[in-house]
Amino acid sequence: MKTRFKAVVSAIVPFILLILAYIFFTKTSALTKPQLDIIELSPYAVFLIGSAISWKFNRSRELFTLLILSACFAAVTFLPGQTGLHVQHKDLNAIIGVVIPLNIAVFSFFKERGILSLWGLLRIGFILSQLVLAGWLLQPARRESLNFLHKDLLPVNLHSLTSISQVPLVLSLIALIILVARYAFTRASQEVSFIAVLCALLIMLHEPGNSVRLAVFFVASGIILMTSIIQDSYSMAFSDELTGLPSRRALRQEMMKLGMNYTIAMLDIDFFKKFNDKYGHDTGDDVLKLVASTIREVTGGGKAYRYGGEEFTILFPGKSVSDALPHLEELREKVSKRGFNLRSKGRSSSNAGSRSQGSKSSRQIHITISIGVSQKNDKNKTPDTVMKAADSALYRAKKKGRNCVSK
Ligand code: GH3
Ligand code: MG
Ligand code: MG
């Protein structure tokens, strides 16, 4: 439940930032000229910081998007005013409206493969070639060739609704559909941040020509991308990649917050080495995920963590061993009764700490866990000593024959 709540929050954050940007923009009319000048320069500061963060965290998709955003912002700020160039806002906006969604959509299909790697350099080449092409198209002699960007693709007249030309509009909508579909499949908060950046672009292009509005939404885009990197890095540091449970680092933090009374349980899958030897490490990983998903649902106010390997820890803040015991018994029984379907053909018989039944193509195996539990008392006064006592109890549970709880 809590993970779902976190996922919803991280999906909403980029849009809250967009709303804040809009509220801020509505207040900018009351600002003085020097204050407005600072706002118009702020996208560069945000892009610089954002690029440094993306570089540090090796996030090429964000870095390249920030580079494109910087180039687009510099182009709309400087080019139209240049004498001799005769660059029109209308053409520039159409180019920006094509370049940003195109790159965001294309980069969404690439796996993270580094910035200065061959793949990263190819992407830099792709971005540079677009800049060269845009510069070439904006020359007065080629202006005619830009007319295709203003053509109406749809059989409806949208000019009274928005000043965005139909080519960039359709491209942005295609990019949005791609990102929403990717989010539906991956649930990655990164996709949401790019969806929000595309929305910021549409807001900017909807009413172009206002440099403060442009600056505010470019800044918002940069902040949205930075927030996504920081959010992901946080969850990477504090949650376990395989099982999705909070990691040992999160456990260490929670242990420091435990108060006067608490109980700690240590859980360990029985004969897991034999299981791996019999069914393979990949199947072992799958089963580990399923066991973790059962352990996550522990009742009685317990919170589960992956301690490491096939070991888990459950903290029961404010609870005694007798409070926690029925919930741990229930959990142990739930795991032992839950069947795991194996699709691959494992070699038959041999005791691998698991019972298996069914046909060759789909067999059901059963996994058991042993649990040791201990509480804070006069003998064990710190979370570390309580954990050690729970570990000794776990050892006793193994000695007793496994698939049991010891205190
Ligand atoms: P016991 O009942 O005494 O706990 O026996 P055991 O085999 O579970 O214990 P042991 O500590 O000897 O082995 C733990 C095994 O867990 C070793 C390793 O193969 C497996 N294991 C640990 N982490 C992972 C993992 O992330 N994925 C997979 N597939 N296996 C893991
Ligand atoms: Mg172990
Ligand atoms: Mg084990």
pLDDT tens digit sequence for 360-387: 556 788 899 999 999 999 999 999 999 9
For residue 266, what pLDDT is reported? 98
Residues 272 and 234 in one domain: no
Q: Whose CA is nearest to atom 25 of ligand 1?
A: 309
Tell how far the Cα of 342 is from the centroid of ligand 3, in angstroms. 20
User: Which residues make beta-bridge pairs with 317?
Assistant: 262
Best residue among 240, 266, 272 to mutate for probing ligand 1's pocket (most ligand atoms within 8 Å of CB) is 272
Contacts of 237 (CB under 8 A, 6+ apart): 247, 249
Best residue among 241, 277, 310, 367 to mutate for probing ligand 1's pocket (most ligand atoms within 8 Å of CB) is 310
For residue 9, what pLDDT is reported? 83
% of the chain residues with pLDDT over 90: 67
Q: Round to whole Å and give the CA distance between 319 and 13.
A: 35
For residue 234, what pLDDT is reported? 86
380 contacts 389 by C-beta, under 8 angstroms: yes
Q: Please say if 333 is a catalytic residue.
A: no
Domain that holds residue 198: 2-238
Decide if 243 is inside a domain: no
Ligand that lies nearest to the alpha carbon of residue 273, given by its number in the listed order: 1
Our count of domains for the chain comes to 2
**Ligand 1 lined by 310 (C-beta under 6 Å):** yes
- Among 210, 238, 266, give the residue marking a domain's end: 238
Tell how far the Cα of 270 is from the centroid of ligand 2, in angstroms. 8
Quick check: 295 pLDDT over 90? yes
Residues 190 and 325 in one domain: no
Residues 77 and 213 in one domain: yes
Quick check: 236 pLDDT over 70? yes
**Orientation of helix 248-257 relative to helix 383-399, angle to 10°:** 120
Q: Work out the mean pLDDT of the chain and round it to a whole number.
A: 89
Decide if 151 is inside a domain: yes
For residue 351, what pLDDT is reported? 47
Tell how far the Cα of 76 is from the centroid of ligand 2, in angstroms. 60
pLDDT: which is higher, 145 or 106: 106
- Token pair for residue 239? 């949650």
What confidence category does residue 354 fall into, taking pLDDT thresholds of 50, 70 and 90? low
Tell how far the Cα of 261 is from the centroid of ligand 3, in angstroms. 28
Catalytic residue among 62, 297, 310, 333: 310
Tell me what the mean pLDDT of segment 38-55 comes to.
94
Give tens-digit pLDDT for 48-65.
999 999 999 999 999 999
Quick check: 346 pLDDT over 50? no
Residues 254 and 233 in one domain: no
**Ligand 1 lined by 240 (C-beta under 6 Å):** no
Give tens-digit pLDDT for 98-119.
999 999 999 998 888 888 888 8
For residue 150, what pLDDT is reported? 83
Quick check: 339 pLDDT over 50? yes
Q: Round to whole Å and give the CA distance between 146 and 137.
A: 7
CATH number at residue 301: 3.30.70.270
Residues 288 and 195 in one domain: no
For residue 152, what pLDDT is reported? 81
Global confidence as pTM: 0.76
- Among 183, 218, 238, give the residue marking a domain's end: 238
Select, from the ranges 77-86, 89-98, 202-211, 370-379, the one with the highest average predicted confidence (pLDDT).
Answer: 370-379
DSSP code per residue over 104-127:
HHHHTTS----SSSHHHHHHHHHH
Q: Whose CA is nearest to atom 24 of ligand 1?
A: 309
For residue 350, what pLDDT is reported? 43
**Ligand 1 lined by 282 (C-beta under 6 Å):** no
73 contacts 31 by C-beta, under 8 angstroms: no
